[in-house]
Amino acid sequence: MAAKSSSDSKSAASSAASGSDFKFPEFYHFPPFFTLQPVSTTRSKQVAVWRDFILQYITHYRLTALILSEEQKKPLFFNAKIDRKLPLDVAQMLVADLINQGRTISLPLCLCSAHRLIGSAMIVVWYTDGTWCGGVMWCGAWCGVWRVACGVWR
């Protein structure tokens, strides 16, 4: 019986690690969400919603890099239930917006382990510079090294 419960706990741990419990928001199942809206005010709101959605998704799955050509086949940009996929040019526009917000770093070309070109990629920055600075300042204050010269050792 103990072996069965340990295998159950292992499967629960692996499903939690893979992030399979991600809850897609309701707007993800709305077909116009995958089409860039023509009205500028609606488009700017749509881009903001996509930006927040992408950041929630990558944070939940703990992704550190995205390759757009690969993500076109995955749930981030493809909803199989409604058979809608975000066009690559719109995904590139969203990446440009994330770069402008300081949340990603663009890599123009990406090579896989077999050294074949697989397209443009981006490195994901989970937290903004201000968030990192605040965390470092809090840690320094908590450790008692606030306003003290100190070094970082390997």
Which of the pair, 154 or 102, is modelled with greater confidence?
A: 102
Six token digits for residue 27: 């707007």
**Per-residue model confidence (pLDDT) at position 42:** 93
Q: Which of 120 and 74 is assigned the larger pLDDT?
A: 74
Given a cut of 90, is residue 151 above it in pLDDT? no
pLDDT at 105: 72
pLDDT of residue 107: 66
Per residue in 91-146, pLDDT tens? Answer: 888 888 888 887 777 666 554 544 444 456 666 666 676 777 787 778 778 877 77
- For residue 16, what pLDDT band results from cuts at 50, 70 and 90? very low
| 22-143 topology per CATH | Arc Repressor Mutant, subunit A (1.10.10)
Within 8 A by CB and 6+ apart from 57, the residues are 22, 63, 76
Please determine, for residue 80, whether its predicted confidence score (pLDDT) is greater than 70.
yes
Query: Tens digit of pLDDT for each residue in 37-58?
Result: 999 999 999 999 999 999 899 8
- pLDDT of 52: 92
For the residues 140-153, what does the mean pLDDT come to?
74
* In the chain, domain spans: 22-143
